Every structure is written in C-alpha cells, then in structure tokens.
Amino acid sequence: MNEERPQIYLITPPTFDLAVFPGLLGRVLDGVDVACLRLAVATRDEEMIARAADALREVTHQRDVAIVIEKHALLVERLGLDGVHLTDGGKNLRSLRKDLGADAIIGAFCGNSRHEGMGAAEAGADYVAFGPVGASLLGSGEMAEADLFGWWSEMIEVPVVAEGGLSVEKVRELAGMTDFFGIGDEIWGSDDPLARLKALVAAMG
C-alpha cells in the first residue's frame, strides 16, 4: 500500500469561459499542491481547443504543473503540452510513445478493467486511471471497486489514478491505495472550488 499521500490530478470542466476559468484555475493551483492538469474539453473545434490550451498552459507552467490533453494526441506537440490522456485503455499506446517520445506523459483510462490496465501498463503508460469510484457518468458507469486499487497498488509499479464520483468518504477509503485522485466535476460545480478541493485533500488524512 502507498504510504505517501496521494497527489492531486485536476481535470477541467468540459466547457468553461476563457475570460474566467484561467484565473479561477490559478487561484486553485496557488491554494493546493497539484501534480497535473488534464484539459478535457468537449469540443472538437481545433481553434477553440488551441485557445484553451494556450491559456491554461500559461497558468500551469508558471506554477510547474504539467498539463495533458484528453484524447487529442496529435495536438500535444503543436500546442506545447506535456502529454495525452487516452480514454480507450492502451490502444495505440506503443505507437504514440514512439511518436511523442520518452518524455511525454501518456496516461490511459481503463474503466474497471484490471486486464486493460495491465495491458496499458505493459505498453508503456505513465499512469493508469480507473473509475468511476462513485456515482458518475464516467466511462461505462460501472464502478471501479476499492479492491481493484488495493490489488494494483500492491502488485503493479505503474502509478494509478482514482477518478469519477469522488466524495470525502471515497477519498478517505482509497487514500492508501492510489497514487493520484483525478478531481474535476467534484469541485468546479461548487461555489468555492478551492474550498471544496481542500475538503477532499483533508480527507486523505
């Protein structure tokens, strides 16, 4: 089991106001130690994605926080990002690693599938994400149970991320079994995202 406290891996909302969100993100990053930000916008409009990436990259890199993009691996180098988060397990991961190089962060979401997680790890993923861990529309919606994280943290060296439907109770339950908590909707929908994030961090013990 992990003895160190898990790190925070923030996930952007699917849509946000570029006139407001970068400032809000900056306040959150200044208030809590964050390891990485995932740009997870719903749009496929490359110009809109590029504008969002430019704005958030400036905020994150000023604070030495890595920024990865969800799905759009072809945009990583063009937009000066640190890597990509794949949503379909380890598919194409080996070829992506060749294209993006050893320094790029490549993570893979594997639902609640131990088999997919192991495949992604063997293909060279920097981390594997499982979820949802609570009520959430993430992935198929089928829950990733605590025993999956317990097994992974004991048997596999590749870091693991718990995400989707996180609550104070779930954070408390999983804190000793995961390397990262992927936190997004849990805070951005609240009146005070920083306060909400601090409450989740406090639950880690």
Whether 72 is covered by a domain: the verdict is yes
Per-residue pLDDT tens for 8-19?
A: 999 999 999 999
Whether 172 is covered by a domain: the verdict is yes
Whether 2 is covered by a domain: the verdict is no
Whether 134 is covered by a domain: the verdict is yes
For residue 35, give the CATH number of its domain.
Answer: 3.20.20.70
Per-residue tens of pLDDT for the chain, all 205 residues: 345 899 999 999 999 999 999 999 999 999 999 999 999 999 999 999 999 999 999 999 999 999 999 999 999 999 999 999 999 998 899 999 999 999 999 999 999 999 999 999 999 999 999 999 998 878 777 999 999 999 999 999 999 999 999 999 999 999 999 999 999 999 999 999 999 999 999 999 8
Per-residue pLDDT tens for 84-102?
A: 999 999 889 999 999 999 9
pTM of the predicted protein model: 0.96
The DSSP code sequence of the chain is ---SPPEEEEE--SS--TTTHHHHHHHHHHHS--SEEEE--S---HHHHHHHHHHHHHHHHTTT-EEEEES-GGGTTTTT-SEEEESSTTTTHHHHHHHH-TTSEEEEE-TT-HHHHHHHHHTT-SEEEE--SSS--STTS----HHHHHHHHHH--S-EEEESS--HHHHHHHTTT-SEEEESHHHHTSS-HHHHHHHHHHTT-
Whether 87 is covered by a domain: the verdict is yes
Whether 116 is covered by a domain: the verdict is yes
Range of the domain at 127: 7-202
Question: What is the count of structural domains for the chain?
Answer: 1
Mean pLDDT of the chain: 95
Whether 63 is covered by a domain: the verdict is yes
Per-residue pLDDT tens for 105-114?
A: 999 999 999 9
Whether 1 is covered by a domain: the verdict is no
